[in-house]
Amino acid sequence: MLENDVSAPAMNTTIYLKEYQVPDFLISQVDLEFVLSPDNTRVKSRLKVTRNGAHDRALTLCGEKLTLISVAINDESVAADAYEQTDMSLKLPAVPNEFELVIETEIAPQQNTELSGLYRSSGNYCTQCEAEGFRRITYFLDRPDVLAEYRVRIVAPKAACPVLLSNGNPVAQGDGPDGLHWAQWHDPHPKPSYLFALVAGDLQFIEDQFTTMSGRDVALKIYTQSAYINKCAHAMASLKRSMAWDERVYGREYDLDIYNIVAVDDFNMGAMENKGLNVFNTKYVLADTDTATDADYEAVESVIAHEYFHNWSGNRVTCRDWFQLSLKEGFTVFRDQEYSADLGSRAVKRIQDVQVLRAFQFKEDSGPMAHPIRPDSYQEINNFYTATVYQKGAEVIRMLHRLLGADAFRRGTDLYFADFDGQAVTTEDFVHALERASGVDLTQFRRWYSQAGTPIIKVEQHFGDGVLTLSLQQSCPDTPGQTDKLPFHMPIEVALFSPDGKKLVAQTLSFNQAEQQFRFDNLACKPVVSVLRYFSAPVKLEYKQSNADRLHLIKYEDDGFVRWESMQQLCLAMIQPALTTGELDPRAYQRVRDAFEALMTDPNPSDKAVLAEMLTLPPAAYIAELASRVDPAAISAVRDRCIERLAKDLEKYFHALYADNNTALDTDAQSLAARRMLKNRALFYLVETGQTAYYALASHQYHAASNMTDRLAAFTALVQSHYPDRDALISDFYETWQHEPLVLDKWFAIQAMRPSSEALREVEDLLHHSDFTLTNPNRVRSVLGAFSGNLAGFHRLDGKGYALLVDYVIKLDQINPQIAARLVSSLNSWRRFTEPYASRMRTELARLNMVSQLSSDVREVVSKALS
């Protein structure tokens, strides 16, 4: 118990997987009529309900923030004393076994700041129902295992809402009295309520079409407000590529006549796969070269693909309950990762995905919210849209793909889609389908679904008499509620290289014991061993590899991931000892310096984007993740010193690299983007030298740039350096881009990420800027999200960064609890910090915990962080 924990705040209820029960009632048909109005939208719901099994229990529907107008069963009105209403439910005792239920409710989309249910964004109506938003629209069995066919009628003023959209196909439309008009939609595919969507407003669209593999024409439309309409072409091209890829790689065809996407400014997450009507955060739709970076283009491509792929992995086959979320999310992330890998550089995609996993998921796995990819319990499901469910979930599917091989994996997914089409199923159903199709026994593999934590793999090698023995040992740290974990089954990709760089052997080891040895015979001499190629399992490797071996792999490996990882290891060998000694070991530094030089003088770099990644030191967050105790000041100081020395010592090479790549020689977009990435990496180091000439070079690039990638790279390098004209540059950027919200988000974020103790004061100013608002999630993430990830700026000896964050979490919790809860989690790992940081973080968490009116979202995170 904490000293300053005086009274126990209100507790949330916990929901357990083991208590899952089939629904008491089913709903087969849903007829909805919406009469839209900002402050009192009428929703009339007509449901066909049947009792599920022989029982006499009441029908209890979920409902939140609804004004109930009327209830009728089989056209007979139900009196108010014949039902029980709470602020979360509507209970109808003694209903018939089969009946029609009509419920009228009223809601206020204009007042909906949580952005869950029906809300308004820039004056337009839109919905977000996953996970539990539909209950904020009408009373319903709001759970994914209740699937129904939906018919929707929308009535709205024609002038304000010329566009009226819902799921499925349009059926009819017409004009009504008083300037109203209406549209009717029908979705023939039974779906859970979380996939329901409605959009209405003054929107423009762009249009295209796709012919499916069986020859059906599908109309494709992307809707957004008129100011953005000329930025949708890349998203449309991405959609068509995704549709073709899913046919080619998974044999999956689209199943409606139209596919609509709507992009809105205010959205809690990235996007939502509602059947036939995806709703997107503008961040993942809009792109043109003036306002979007190459990274933005890639992000749009992958999220468009992700939501499209959900049409099969999520919609046609959905989740039985929210514990199964990774069934659709892990699988769909794996699918979108492979899509992007096929489209661009597979090695760079893998490196970037591993970086995300390490930065976010490893951290989650070592903190108080650690959970398996299929959690056993939750308080607030919105807190479980996590890096574990998504990114680690994708790693688990990737391991299955590797263990089975591409062909057996495809037979397995074919069987899964065929057997479970139209159903709400479990991760067990998925694994069992793969097992049946491949004949591979996945009994032990299933532990990945039930055990949390990042496994640690120790590798030792012994060579003698032409035989190499690799000894692998695995263990997994305890996580909340889980101790003494059993060994996992995982594929470990290994290759052996000869002293002159030839690949002698490459093989997948099936590692499934606590300790296991693998033998390689008939070797002429001691090979260099490459372990965990392609990052074949989501683990931490403890491998005392010699620096000579690392350099050998940098030179000869054909897997870009291992080349990059070997370089990261060389860098860590330089950084980690210095965190405690405060001194850079000259030999460790020299090795990194020489390796950088060798990379930059290689006349034929295999992949410029991989090279750019290899010239990047491990991120501060990853160094923190690997430390036994996190000293943020030491990490920033050491990392900054390494950067500065490398920049100064290798100046002429960075300059040459910059010059060589500052030209548009390549014809394809991908090579041009790789060139820009490499050039801008060089520019970063040049600016870090602090030389006036390089400030001028970056400033010139900023002003002369023909695209946002180059402009933003120059801006970031200068703003995060000691550039004397920093303030003028910040003003210039603001003046130029203030009318582009997504660009302005970058402007906010780059300042909030300034790696200096000055960041706090700047963030305080940004929070009072006229363009800052707590009602737009992207803007909140740009300032508070970016700041909380700023190791040097956020973690201060005086704890003022934490206090500022908590002040804003308390305010934001009244507006948007989902976003507030995400911000709190940056304090989750407080126990891993040195003093005084740990105590100061804990003090702020305790202060937050004392607030009596917290949402269940924030309450769950803060109480678990303190427990």
Question: What mask of x and - would describe binding to ligand ARG in positions 321 to 340, judged by CB under 6 A?
Answer: --------x-----------
Question: Could you tell which of Zn ion, ligand ARG, none binds residue 385, using a CB distance below 5 to 8 A set by kind?
Answer: ligand ARG
The backbone region for 532, taken as left when phi is positive above 0, alpha when psi lies in -120 to 50, beta otherwise, is left
H-run or E-run covering 395? helix 393-404
Residue 112 or 636 having the CB closest to ligand ARG: 112
Residues 295-314 interacting with ligand ARG (rule: CB under 6 A): 306-307
Residue 329 or 860 having the CB closest to Zn ion: 329
Neighbours of 548 (CB within 10 A): 9
Residues 458-477 interacting with ligand ARG (rule: CB under 6 A): none
Under the binding rule (CB under 6 A), the answer on residue 382 touching ligand ARG is yes
Question: What mask of x and - would describe binding to ligand ARG in positions 679 to 718, judged by CB under 6 A?
Answer: ----------------------------------------
Active-site entry in 64, 130, 307, 740: 307
Residue 308 or 420 having the CB closest to Zn ion: 308
End-to-end CA distance of the chain: 8
Q: Which residue has the tokens 């992000």?
A: 299
Between CA 572 and CA 626 the distance in angstroms is 10
Residue 313 or 661 having the CB closest to ligand ARG: 313
Question: What mask of x and - would describe binding to ligand ARG in positions 217 to 256, judged by CB under 6 A?
Answer: ----------------------------------------
Residues 124-143 interacting with ligand ARG (rule: CB under 6 A): 128, 130-131
Q: Smallest distance, Å, CB 91 to Zn ion?
A: 33
Residue 315 or 332 having the CB closest to Zn ion: 332
Q: Smallest distance, Å, CB 336 to ligand ARG?
A: 10
Residue 367 or 393 having the CB closest to ligand ARG: 393
Backbone angles phi, psi at 694, to 5 degrees: -80, -30
Question: What mask of x and - would describe binding to ligand ARG in positions 420 to 449, judged by CB under 6 A?
Answer: ------------------------------
Tell me, by CB under 5 A, how many residues bind Zn ion: 2
One-letter-per-residue 3-state SS of 141-173? CCCCCCCEEEEEEEEEECCCCCEEEECCEEEEE
Count helices and strands (H / E) in the chain. 30, 31
Residues 304-343 interacting with Zn ion (rule: CB under 5 A): 329, 332
Residue 261 or 841 having the CB closest to ligand ARG: 261
Q: Smallest distance, Å, CB 855 to ligand ARG?
A: 13
User: How much is the CA Rg of the chain, to the nearest whole Å?
Assistant: 28
Between CA 849 and CA 775 the distance in angstroms is 23
Residue 272 or 286 having the CB closest to ligand ARG: 272
Q: Smallest distance, Å, CB 203 to ligand ARG?
A: 21
Question: What mask of x and - would describe binding to ligand ARG in positions 254 to 293, judged by CB under 6 A?
Answer: --------------xxxxxx--------------------
Q: DSSP per residue over 745-760, as a string? A: HHHHHHHHT-SSTTHH
Task: Identify whether 3 is a catalytic site residue.
Answer: no
Residue 166 or 716 having the CB closest to ligand ARG: 166
H-run or E-run covering 641? helix 632-649
Distance of CA 153 to the CA centre of its chain: 34
Amino acid residing at 551: L
Backbone angles phi, psi at 435, to 5 degrees: -65, -45
Please name the residues in contact with 569: beta carbons below 8 A apart, sequence gap of 6 or more.
Answer: 545, 550
Q: Which residue has the tokens 């009116």?
A: 853
Q: Smallest distance, Å, CB 332 to ligand ARG?
A: 7
Backbone angles phi, psi at 148, to 5 degrees: -140, 160
Neighbours of 507 (CB within 10 A): 13
Q: Smallest distance, Å, CB 328 to ligand ARG?
A: 7
Between CA 567 and CA 554 the distance in angstroms is 7
Question: Could you tell which of ligand ARG, Zn ion, none binds residue 131, using a CB distance below 5 to 8 A set by kind?
Answer: ligand ARG
Q: Smallest distance, Å, CB 306 to Zn ion?
A: 6
Neighbours of 706 (CB within 10 A): 10
Q: Are 560 and 348 in contact (CB under 8 A)?
A: yes
Q: Smallest distance, Å, CB 261 to ligand ARG?
A: 12
Task: Name beta bridge partners: 33.
Answer: 44, 153
Tell me, by CB under 6 A, how many residues bind ligand ARG: 15
Q: Smallest distance, Å, CB 133 to ligand ARG?
A: 7
Please state whether beta strands 377-378 and 15-16 pair in parallel, antiparallel, or not at all (unpaired): antiparallel
Between CA 319 and CA 430 the distance in angstroms is 11
Between CA 784 and CA 767 the distance in angstroms is 9
Question: Could you tell which of Zn ion, ligand ARG, none binds residue 112, using a CB distance below 5 to 8 A set by kind?
Answer: none
Q: Which residue has the tokens 């688990």?
A: 396
Q: DSSP per residue over 504-565, as a string? A: EEEEEEEE-SSEEEEEE---SSPPEEEESGGG-SS-EEEE---HHHHHHHHHH-S-HHHHHH
Could you tell me which of 426, 368, 524, 385 has the C-alpha nearest to residue 145?
426
- Positions that interact with Zn ion (CB under 5 A): 329, 332
Q: Which residues are catalytic?
A: 307
Instruction: List residues binding ligand ARG (CB under 6 A).
Output: 128, 130-131, 268-273, 306-307, 329, 382, 385, 818
